[in-house]
Amino acid sequence: MCSCNCEQPLVPSIVEVIDIVDETPDVRSFYVKCSEGGVPYSVQPGQCSMLSLPAGEGMFSCTWQEGNEYQHYAIKKVGLLTEELHSIEIGQKLGIRGPYGNGFPVEACKGKDMLFIAGGIGLAPLRSFIKYCFKHRDDYGKIDILYGSRSYADLCFKDELFNLWPQEKNTQVYVTIDNAEPEWDGHVGFVPSYLEELNPNPNGKIAVTCGPPIMIKFVLQSLEKMGYIDDQVITTLEMRMKCGIGKCGRCNVGSQYICVDGPVFTRTQLRQLPQEW
Amino acid sequence: MQVIDKNKIVPLLDRLSKQSEVFVPTVKGSESGFYSWNSLNGAKEIALEALNVYHSPKNVLFPQTERMYSIEQGKQVFSIPDTFQDEKSRIIFGIRACDAKAITCFDDVFLTHGYEDSFYATRRKNTIIIGNACYQPGANCFCSSMGINPVQPDADVVIHDAGTVYAWEAITVTGQQFTEQVQDLLEEKDLGLPQLKPFSTEFDYDGVVEKLQGMFDHEIWHELAEPCMNCGTCTYMCPSCHCFDIQVKIWGDKGYRFRCWDSCMYTEYTAEAGGGNPRPDSQDRFRNRFLHKLEFFTERYDYPLCTGCGRCISVCPNGINIIDIIKRIKEVDKIV
Amino acid sequence: MTDITLKIREIATRLLQSDQVDVFVGWEKGPQEYQTRPFFVRRVEDVEKLVFNEYSIHNLTNYLLKYRDSTDRVGLVVKGCDSRGIVRLLQDNQFKRNRLYIVGVCCPGIKDPLKIAKNQSGLACPPNNEEIADKCTRCLVPNPIIYDELLGESQEPHNSGERFSEIKTIENMDPNQRYQFFEDTLTQCIRCYACRQVCVACNCRTCIFDEMKPQWVGRENSTTDNMMYHLVKAMHMAGRCIECGECERVCPVNIPLMLINSKLVKDMDHFFGSYEAGMEYVEGQKPPLSVYNPDDPDDFI
């Protein structure tokens, strides 16, 4: 039976937290599945779910869905709900509804080289796409991952970043932190400037970026400078959401609702929208 | 033509309200609105002959506060014992074309574009709409300019004021079935319908959307928004403003989630948990409201989210006038 | 009033031309005469649109909040009641006196454009009084108390009858009756927050009602949440309300908000007085509830 509650899209179904992993001092990963087994619905890379505790609901990008086994959400502590989420323990029941949004164009990107550019918690939504590429490794060309955070401690998914992903075929991972640290011998500096330093050739490449709005804005500028045309650049946006189904009116950018028409937009689509994100 | 004698309206409402909750335009104290006929004890001052009532019937299909489902919490527990679907049968009696069009807007918002809002859908499915054709536009009315025919409201049945009787016109299949139920109160009569009186304001709305598409960064917004204090009065009195918030009320282990009207005029509306806000300034919110009504909604649903009822003009504490704003937008080329 | 209009234009022209202010806040005529509305002049060419007429009812001091984070020097027109709003903002450290050029107008009493708009709208409602605005019938201060330039002839207060007579009626109700009265009144509220937005004393950067962490007051439209909203708002007004009456005027559902505010005005004067908010500006002086005094009465706690 379908447990996604599609007849009543605003009413959550219930899942259970089966594991919690600390990623950084303020980012935690939650593994969830239905108590009777399986996932509540199938999520495509880049799509989101509305997770809830009794205290409130919040929209989170699904960082990975492992078959019918579990969904993974990496969540940064920023407000009331996320603070509560960070205080729960394994076994906690959560409300969940979704999947929301368009997701990444995984099919259209097949055969291309991929360049993922993320800052901070912005790696969370990209992770689903990155893992999808690795799962279907032969469908994609070279994969470059450029990721930056404020400090080493703030880097999410360290095991994947430093151990797993670099071992993947034809893959390069570049990591940077904002300020120098004694133990850090890697690159220091902001993501957009590191990107320009690396200057990846735009030929046959799709760039996917997510991070704080200010980083996205500079990354988009840098990509343009390096010769990426608008259709080659994809980003995923975030706005405050309540319903997730394009009714409550709150997440509009122009006539588009981030919850249903986004969160993933190409640069071409983004140019059609007012600068209000 | 079928007609109903005006003397039979009260008996009709009395009868209908035995099976359904009937919402009728009435005056109540210093207010007027669509109030439930059975809740109006004593003096029932029906306002069918007035231009319209102060509060639109938006509350009937989209209550200002609506409980959605109950929740229970405990150690690690979170469950949803009940979902509240309101299946009561309702009749909105005597709605004007502007407010009826606002319901059409709601139908498009809540029932189309990928998701059907089950709470609205249940209520809507069980609601019959009786329109009241409008032949005498008021001082702030401009529905005709927004593409609405005031004498043909979007309704199941339309009544037309023809002196001592209302002409009765069944429009939809639901309307025909409804008409059969009240057949004994109707009679056949030959009569002419009144002539629609001229509007005090008419303008050509064509081209406004295209114009606005290039005006997001126009300096005129600063000037237009300056008197606005971002109170939410216009949004709450508007028959077509549909934005809502989802909130929770909980005591101990039990509570419920509800939704309630929200206003794009408030800072909190788009404030993100992380501290950012894409529309931090009063002017940003003002612009979004007018662009949503006049441009964005049309881009999504093909017609504007303003039905020309004029309520916002009457209630704005600072004299902001949407007709004036549309006219200013139309003149923009001449200004720059 | 034509005279006053001409003088206001003259002053605005002078201030803008001599670069004494960046913006001048007054009124302009809307599409209908009664829709006189706040107007913001930055260019001398626009000065001609400024008017002062029988509908210039808005308390423009609230707009100063739009400029509090800028460096703009503001000229503005105030009536007697509005001028107390300036004292409010100065006392609350929201604005510096030296950024203001205040044009005071001795107020002859104003009509309420909202009432006329409602009467003319055709919406079914009992007809509203089109004469002097309700708030002017309680007027105590027709002549501005703080200004750089004063226009018009000094006026007598337009209030009639005994001050606080309505409050006394409510004080004399038995508690159940009184509770019922407020329950009936406040269930009408649609929580649009217009009363907060027009209030010059509501100058908190983040209002407690917008605070989400924690959320102090529920957003439900229910007796409980509505009462909570109004009680909290009223308490925040104690000793700070300058009785301009704008909250009550703009309420779209006619809640007699000034009843609540006036009760607090009366009690503040009784317990901490003699005291009237915003009646004079003395640098550094605070409203009684903004400072602790060991002699503060506490027998009502």
B261 touches chain A (CB under 8 A): no
Whether residues B48 and B181 share a domain: the answer is yes
**pLDDT value for A199:** 94
Does position B254 have pLDDT exceeding 80, yes or no?
Answer: yes
Q: What is the mean pLDDT of residues B56-78?
A: 94
Q: Which of B101, B20, B129 is nearest to B305 (CA)?
A: B101
Give the pLDDT band of residue B42 (cuts 50, 70, 90): low
Residues B178 and B208 in one domain: no
Distance CA A23, CA A64 (A): 15
Q: Pick the last residue of a domain from B148, B172, B202.
A: B202
Residue A106: which of A158, A43, A29 has the closest Cα? A43
| Cβ–Cβ below 8 Å for C214 and A79 | no
Is the CB of residue C31 less than 8 Å away from at least one CB of chain B?
yes
Return the residue in C210, C211, C213, C216 with the most chain A beta carbons within 10 A, the one to mutate for interface testing: C213
Q: C93 to each of B172, B320, C104, C205, C275, how far by Cα in Å?
A: 63, 30, 21, 12, 20
The two structure tokens encoding residue A100: 């929301």
Query: Are the C-beta atoms of residues B263 and B236 closer than 8 Å to each other?
Result: yes
In chain C, where the domains are located: 1-160, 162-301
Show which subunits contact A, needing at least 3 CB pairs below 8 angstroms. B, C
pLDDT at A54: 85
CA distance to partner chain C, nearest, from residue B13 (Å): 19
Dig out the tokens for C298 from the structure: 């506490």
C-beta atoms surrounding C109 within 10 Å: 17
Q: Which residue of A has its CA nearest to B299?
A: A255
Q: What would the pLDDT profile of A196-205 be if each residue is shown by its tens digit?
A: 999 999 999 9
Query: Closest Cα of chain C to B125: distance in Å?
Result: 25
In this complex, do B244 and A79 lie within 8 Å of one another by their Cβ atoms?
no
Look at residues B202, B221, B241 and tell me which one is the last residue of a structural domain. B202
Q: Is the pLDDT of residue A2 over 60?
A: no
Picking from B144, B179, B202, the residue at the C-terminal end of a domain is B202
Among B73, B216, B262, beta carbon nearest to A274: B216
Which residue segment(s) compose the domain that B305 sits in?
203-336
Which helix (H) or strand (E) element contains residue C115?
Answer: helix C113-121
Which CATH number describes the domain made up of A13-100?
A: 2.40.30.10
pLDDT at C41: 97
Chain C residue numbers touching B268 (CB-CB < 8 A):
210, 212
Q: How far apart are CA A24 and CA A158, in angstroms?
A: 9
Q: Do C125 and B30 touch (CB under 8 A)?
A: yes
Residue from C191, C219, C223, C254 whose CB has the most chain B CBs within 10 Å, to mutate? C219
pLDDT digits (tens, 9 = 90+) for A6-32: 789 999 999 999 999 999 999 999 999
Asked whether the beta carbons of A77 and A23 are under 8 A apart, the reply is no
B44 pLDDT higher than 90: no
Q: How far, in whole angstroms, is CA B4 from its chain's centroid?
A: 26
Using a CB-CB cut-off of 8 Å, the residues of chain A touching B263 are none
Contacts of A55 in chain C (CB under 8 A): none
The pLDDT-based confidence of B267 (bands split at 50, 70, 90) is confident
Phi first, then psi: give them for residue A57, nearest 5 degrees. Answer: -120, 150
B47 plus B171 within the same structural domain? yes
* Confidence band, pLDDT 50/70/90 cuts, at residue A3: low
Interval A80-121: pLDDT, tens? 889 999 999 999 999 999 999 999 999 999 999 999 999 999
Residues of A in contact with C214 (CB under 8 A): 80
Residues in chain B within 8 Å Cβ distance of C76: none
Both tokens of residue B6?
């005006």
Q: Pick the residue from chain A with its C-alpha nearest to B68.
A: A11
**pLDDT for C4-51, tens place per residue?**
999 999 999 999 999 999 999 999 998 888 889 999 999 999 999 999
Cα–Cα distance, C142 to C156 (Å, whole number):
7
Chains meeting B at 3+ CB pairs closer than 8 A?
A, C
The amino acid at residue B270 is T
Cβ distance of B115 and A247 shorter than 8 Å: yes
When computed from its CA atoms, the radius of gyration of chain A, rounded to whole angstroms, is 18
* Contact in structure between B62 and C133 (CB atoms under 8 Å): no
Cβ B80–A14 below 8 Å, yes or no? yes
Query: Is the CB of residue B219 less than 8 Å away from at least one CB of chain C?
Result: no
Q: Look at C218 and B51 and tell me if their CB atoms are within 8 Å.
A: no
Interchain contact, A253 vs B278, CB within 8 Å: yes
C119 interfaces chain B, CB cutoff of 8 Å:
no
Mean pLDDT on B95-105: 97
Q: What is the CA radius of gyration of chain C?
A: 20
A 10 A CB-CB count for C282 gives 9
Separation of alpha carbons C56 and C29, rounded Å: 9
A179 min Cα distance to partner chain B (Å): 22
| Residues paired with residue A149 on neighbouring β-strands, in sequence order | A177
Residue C40 contacts B where some CB pair is shorter than 8 Å: yes
Per the CB < 8 Å rule, is C214 touching A80?
yes
Listed in sequence order, the residues at least 6 apart from C33 whose beta carbon sits closer than 8 Å to its beta carbon are C53, C55
Is A55 within 8 Å of B271 when comparing Cβ atoms?
Answer: no
pLDDT at A153 exceeding the cut of 90: yes
Range with the poorest average pLDDT among A7-21, A34-48, B200-214, B322-336: B322-336
Domain boundaries defined on chain A:
13-100, 113-236, 239-277
Mark yes or no for CB contact B278/A277 under 8 Å. Answer: yes
Average pLDDT (C239-264) is 93
The answer to whether the beta carbons of residues A112 and A80 sit under 8 Å apart is: no
**Are residue B142 and residue B271 in the same domain, yes or no?**
no
- pLDDT, position C189: 93
In chain B, how many domains are there?
A: 2
Task: Categorize the per-residue pLDDT at C293 as very low, low, confident or very high, splitting at 50, 70 and 90.
Answer: confident
From chain C, the residues in CB contact with B138 under 8 A are 121-123
- The least confident of A204-208, B39-43, C210-214 is B39-43
The CATH code of domain A113-236 reads 3.40.50.80
pLDDT at A5: 65
What percent of chain A is modeled with pLDDT above 90?
87
Per-residue pLDDT tens over the stretch C141-159: 999 999 999 999 999 988 8
| Closest C-alpha to B247, from C193, A49, C186, C212 | C212
C213 CB neighbours in chain A (<8 A) are 79-80
Overall average pLDDT of the A139-150 stretch: 96
Tally of residues, chain B: 336
Contacts of A115 (CB under 8 A, 6+ apart): A144, A146, A200, A205, A206, A207, A208
Q: Is residue B249 located within the same domain as residue B197?
A: no
Tokens for B255, please give them: 């509570």
Q: Does C218 touch chain A (CB under 8 A)?
A: no
Q: Does C212 touch chain A (CB under 8 A)?
A: yes
Q: Could you tell me which chains touch chain C, where touching means 3 or more CB pairs under 8 A?
A: A, B
pLDDT tens, residue by residue, C117-140? 999 999 998 888 888 999 999 999
Check whether residue B183 and residue B146 sit in a common domain: yes
Q: Within the 127-186 window of chain C, which residues sit less than 8 Å (CB to CB) from chain B?
A: none
Q: Could you tell me if residue B63 is inside a domain?
A: no
Question: What integer pLDDT is reported at residue C130 of this predicted model?
Answer: 85
Q: Is residue B336 scored above 70 in pLDDT?
A: no
Residue listed under structure tokens 């504007």: B304
pLDDT (tens digit, 9 = 90+) per residue, B303-335? 999 999 999 999 999 999 999 999 999 998 754
**Each residue of A205-239: pLDDT tens digit?**
999 999 998 999 999 999 999 999 999 999 998 87
Read off the pLDDT of each residue in A140-156 and give the average, rounded to a whole number.
Answer: 96
Tokens for B80, please give them. 């949803």
- Cα torsion B128, B134, B138, B140: sign: positive
Q: Are C135 and C59 a contacting pair, CB within 8 Å?
A: no
Half-sphere exposure of C243 (CA within 13 A, CB side): 25
Of A67, A30, A60, nearest in space to A46 by CA:
A60
pLDDT of residue A1: 39
Cβ pair B320:C37 closer than 8 A: yes
A-chain residue closest to B266, CA distance: A250
Q: What is the pLDDT at residue C129?
A: 86
Interface of B with A in 212-241 (CB under 8 A): 216-217
Terminal CA-CA length for chain A:
38
Asked if C213 has any chain A CB less than 8 Å from its own CB, the reply is yes
Instruction: Give me the residues of B, 129-188, that contact C with CB < 8 A.
Output: 138-141
Instruction: Check whether residue B288 and residue B310 sit in a common domain.
Output: yes
